[in-house]
């Protein structure tokens, strides 16, 4: 099973992925967690290019191609082999991020991006996408208040950009509502986790009985 997590920065994706992974492992599932961009040696190198605050001149098309280069690598090297081995894969961001951020946020052509994504992923789609729903203003405030101070090039956008991203996510959800689980991320993290478990549980593959 392939589960992706989407939402604005500051929505709690990383925390919730780890909580869900622990829950699933306790229940007997074999779980792989990964992230975009990154998750491979090549992807991590691309991630450094994308996040570097010094790269302010990076064009939106170059950004889009880099994201999809990293995506092609992680799908081929990590995600497909894990799924073939029967693992549950939890990924922090996937193709929907490109449509929301590079498409709606940077106002690039959605149909072109969809063709590029299909090429990069070989047509792979998540079984379930968890959307952590939080107002853009709250996400920005949380992100800027992080204790690690990990501020990067992708964080340096105006509020209007994140509002377009949120609109993009809403449209993507409306197009494929059966694939998305929309979770109120303004709640306490334990309540968010419980809501995610309730959304994921019915879609999990049955475990083989113990001998």
**Per-residue pLDDT tens over the stretch 18-72:** 999 999 999 999 999 999 999 999 999 999 999 888 898 999 999 999 999 999 9
> What rounded mean pLDDT belongs to the chain?
92
DSSP code for 5? E
**pLDDT value of position 160:** 93
Which pLDDT tens digit goes with each residue over 138-172? 888 877 766 555 657 667 678 899 999 999 999 99
**pLDDT value of position 146:** 61
Residue with tokens 């959304």: 199
pTM of the full predicted structure? 0.92
Query: Domains in the chain and their CATH numbers?
Result: 2-203 (3.40.50.300)
- Give the integer Cα–Cα distance in Å for 139 and 201: 27
Which pLDDT tens digit goes with each residue over 1-13? 999 999 988 899 9
Mean local confidence (pLDDT), 70-93: 98
- Give the integer Cα–Cα distance in Å for 81 and 75: 8
Residue with tokens 């909580």: 19
53 burial class (0-12, 13-18, 19+ CB within 10 angstroms)?
exposed
Strand partners, 31: 88
Using the predicted structure, report yes or no on whether residue 108 has a pLDDT greater than 90: yes
- Give the integer Cα–Cα distance in Å for 134 and 168: 14
DSSP code for 155? G
């Amino acid at each position: 099973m392939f589960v992706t997590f989407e939402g604005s920065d500051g929505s709690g994706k990383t925390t919730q992925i780890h909580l869900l992974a622990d829950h699933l492992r306790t229940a007997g599932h074999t779980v792989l967690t990964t992230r975009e961009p990154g998750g491979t040696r090549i992807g991590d190198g691309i991630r450094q290019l994308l996040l570097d605050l010094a790269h302010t001149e990076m064009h939106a098309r170059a950004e889009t191609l880099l994201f999809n280069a990293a995506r092609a690598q992680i799908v081929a090297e990590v995600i497909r082999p894990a799924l073939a081995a029967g693992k549950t894969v939890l990924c922090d961001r996937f193709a929907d991020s490109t449509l929301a951020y590079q498409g709606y946020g940077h106002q690039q052509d959605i149909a072109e991006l969809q063709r590029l994504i299909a090429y990069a992923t070989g047509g792979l789609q998540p079984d379930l996408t968890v959307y952590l729903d939080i107002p853009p203003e709250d996400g920005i405030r949380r992100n800027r208040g992080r204790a690690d101070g990990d501020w990067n090039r992708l964080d340096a956008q105006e509020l209007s950009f994140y509002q377009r991203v949120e609109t993009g996510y809403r449209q993507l959800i409306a197009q494929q509502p059966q694939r998305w689980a929309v979770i109120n991320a303004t709640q306490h993290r334990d309540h968010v986790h419980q809501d995610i478990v309730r959304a994921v549980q019915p879609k999990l593959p049955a475990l083989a009985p113990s001998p």
